[in-house]
Chains A and B, each alone.
Chain A
């Protein structure tokens, strides 16, 4: 019951935040030079002013900015994110079409990086100051600092071109009407490379966080209590230290999970993953205002959702939190 109330309260606040974000984003996007009409006209390779003007009128760009904003907001309130004139489709359809792929990719990368990061971080913390610790922190940092596309391409070269183990791009092999299981396996195979490359980047952050947090927690009194009980070190680390250390990691993970929705542009591009990051990037390049705003709105909503989820997880993990504001 309390959780439900909390959820409603957070949701109400979240909606307000999203609306505010829409307004700010709206102005931000319109400040960038160029507009969708000129981009479209430009692409066709031949234009005249009348044609561009005709497009502008069609897209409603001739109206004052505030009117455009008003119309847009009114649409958002009715869950109508407008029409992408460029793609000739309602924005919501386009976005929802792409969202699952992104959620799959970032979700997998997220789980992968979180698991690996926490495990490695814990491992490093357990060997604090020793070579293993140094190796883990350094290697994870290298993955963090190495250009993502380079790692991606190397992964493709090794695992797709040379070894031919995994597909290089796309979300599934086209054609054929395989059964559900085959299709799932197919997608899973396609998922491996992009998810791992994207995940490795984030792993470094989790490794650091977990390590620092573990070391901090290991200094606390209750760990000594556990030792005094005669618990084996292994159990202490896993059951007590790690569990307490994971709390700040959860906070960070929540933040990052939200960001991941829009943060996978590069990976989606390199692996031809039909996700929302690419959609956003293309919309941005083409100044497809409605689509871009739509993606922003959805990703903002995602961030809000993930924040709420984080809080829920937090409430599950940490009994001390009854209500977070």
Chain B
């Protein structure tokens, strides 16, 4: 490692505008990336991972600025370049991929053109050649039918395909450095595995240096050569992947690694003598028909097909499956946010199908939901206390009493009751999710449906929330339907797991059985795609500790 690093960052400090949560987004950050090497930057949300990457890219958000330090790209300090010179570097010598494939592409432009734009930006090739190269790139990143895809608009591609387009764009000019800012976080396991594989292959082929930002240690284990761990704007630990994962020095790193869901089935509730069934679902079906035009056959999607299960108090049913398999649709059918087409849902033995809105309002209190998006699921203009108290108030509880209870609930989910008077935006994602849980608990439900309740959170927070849920489940003797695409999470918390594909439950059984001895081929594929597995037992063994 004596050769000159591709990128060498030293003493980087980024100043935040006045009034932000801290003075510097990052401080004293230093790291090197060498040719052909993958450096993973991990750390909880807000630790300054993206800021560091953006600084290198010269794309800091307005109001922030580099206060100190240098970033040498092949010996040249990119932090001191004028905008024009920086633009010449972007896309050409440094490529970048972002987290959100859904919004990272211009919705109004064909993807072929968007790729060709990279060449155009740097004044390379003729129009025809640009197109040819775009096509070659699409082929290289493994998009099916690239000839057609080149004319596609982003909305016509799946998330994984879009991320591939992003990669094609980032690698179009064979940059020496690729910065990937959580490129797989928004994808489901199988797609994530494919994208990771793709990045690795391309890196090997082109010898690119990769700066990979993630909060998922599984991914780190899969892809990283070396690791930088960040916390609150500072680097707390640096080292090779094996060292950091196998033998973390800093207590924060240790805590992070400990927080990773083990992937081992918990298998607690099995001992319970007698199941007290609260929810009984039989033959539930939901089909979406969306009209496509005048006098044309509508598009039909079988989102839920003939799903049946029972759920008892104190039990957790995990629903897993890749994106679009119908998990959310199932959850929503249960609480009747969408109306199922057929089947039966019994709560405490009582049939709920075909009830009037008024009747529904009564039993609905017994079945509450925790949502995925900690931002979207809390009304930004309502104070937290009110958000939690709304259910009881609607049920006729006096406002004062309801607010008092909301305070208690906040304590229950581990928040300070002073939070009552604040607005959601003043909380972190994990805290917001706790608020969401408190709200679900406000009506003393028997059943809670959690739809991707921890997917948007980073590991350490995820672990906290999962623990909270597990704890509440036991304390309040709740029945829990836990929807997730993260099999490790499902394995950690669920008693029973249902695996869904295209609306159908292909396999259902105790978590230990499903993960230990998957019967269905689809389940096996899902499990294989879990990041970190291929790294072998170093990780798995440690995680089992």
Q: List residues of chain A with CB under 8 Å of any chain B CB.
A: 2, 5-6, 8-9, 220-222, 224-232, 235, 239-240, 243-244, 317-320, 322-323
Contact = CB atoms under 8 A, between A and B. Distances in A.
B294 A229 contact: no
Given A224-B98, A228-B91, A229-B90, 14 more contacts: A221-B100, A222-B103, A222-B104, A222-B106, A225-B105, A228-B95, A228-B98, A229-B118, A231-B87, A235-B121, A240-B109, A319-B107, A320-B155, A323-B294
27 contacts: A2-B293, A6-B294, A9-B294, A221-B98, A221-B104, A222-B103, A222-B104, A224-B98, A225-B104, A225-B105, A226-B106, A227-B90, A228-B59, A229-B90, A229-B118, A230-B90, A231-B91, A231-B121, A235-B121, A240-B106, A243-B109, A244-B108, A319-B107, A319-B108, A319-B153, A320-B153, A323-B291
Given A6-B294, A222-B103, A225-B169, A318 B90 contact: no
Q: Does more than half of chain A's interface fall in helix, strand or loop, or is it mixed?
A: helix
B89 A222 contact: no
Q: Which of B121, B153, B292, B295 has the most CB of A within 10 A?
A: B121
A6 B91 CA distance: 42
Give the size range of B's interface with the partner. Answer: 35 or more
A325 to B, nearest CB: 8
Contact of A319 (B88, B155, B293): B155
Given A227-B59, A230-B90, A244-B106, A323 B118 contact: no
Nearest to A10: B294
Contacts of B107: 222, 244, 318-320
A230 B89 contact: yes
B135 interface: no
Nearest to B58: A227
Interface in B283-299: 291-296
B209 interface: no
Interface in B447-470: none
Contacts of A9: 294
A227 B62 CA distance: 14
A213 to B, nearest CB: 13
Contacts of B105: 222, 225
Given A221-B98, A225-B166, A231-B121, A318 B293 contact: no
Interface in B54-68: 57, 59
A9 B294 CA distance: 7
Contacts of B166: 225
Nearest to A246: B108
A163 to B, nearest CB: 44
B293 A6 contact: yes
Q: Which of A226, A235, A322 has the most CB of B within 10 A?
A: A226
Contacts of A232: 87, 121
B96 interface: yes
Q: Which of B104, B122, B291 has the most CB of A within 10 A?
A: B104
Nearest to B293: A323
Nearest to A247: B108
Interface string B72-115: 00000000000000011111100110101001111111000000
Contacts of B292: 322-323
A322 B298 CA distance: 13
B275 to A, nearest CB: 47
A321 to B, nearest CB: 10
Contact of A230 (B103, B104, B118): B118
Contacts of B95: 228
A231 B96 contact: no
Nearest to B155: A320
B334 interface: no
